[in-house]
Amino acid sequence: EQPLAQPSSPQAAVGWGDIGGLDAVIERLKETIVWPLQHPERFRRLGIRAPRGVLLHGPPGTGKTMLAQAAASEVSASFLAVAIPDLVKGEVGESEKALAAVFAAARRGPSILFLDEIEAIFGAREQAGETGRKLVSQLFLEMDAIPSDARMVILAATNAPAMVDPAILRAGRLDTVIHIPRPDEAGRLDILRRSTRHLRIDDADAVLAWLARRSLSGAEIRAVVRGACYAAIQRGSQTLARPDFAAAAESAIYCDNTAATSLH
Ligand code: ATP
ipTM at complex level: 0.97
**Cβ of residue 84 lying under 6 Å from some atom of ligand 1:** no
Contact indicator for 98, 142 with CB cutoff of 8 Å: no
Strands 53-57 and 78-83: unpaired
**Cβ of residue 223 lying under 6 Å from some atom of ligand 1:** no
Atom of ligand 1 nearest to the CA of 20: 28
pTM of this prediction?
0.88
Phi, psi of 216 (to 5 degrees): -115, 150
Contact indicator for 105, 119 with CB cutoff of 8 Å: no
* Share above pLDDT 90 across residues of the chain, in percent, rounded to a whole number: 68
How remote is the CA of residue 254 from the centroid of ligand 1, in Å?
16
How remote is the CA of residue 122 from the centroid of ligand 1, in Å?
24
- Roughly how many angstroms between the first and final C-alpha of the chain, as a whole number? 43
Q: Which of 16, 197, 222 for mutating ligand 1's site (highest number of atoms within 8 Å of CB)?
A: 222
CA distance 224 to 247: 9
pLDDT in tens, 150-203: 899 999 999 999 999 999 999 889 989 999 999 999 999 999 999 999 999 999
CA distance 37 to 258: 38
- Element holding 155 (H helix, E strand): strand 152-158
CA distance 188 to 50: 33
Contact indicator for 58, 159 with CB cutoff of 8 Å: yes
**Cα dihedral: 257, 260, 261, 264 (round 10):** -170
**Cβ of residue 187 lying under 6 Å from some atom of ligand 1:** no
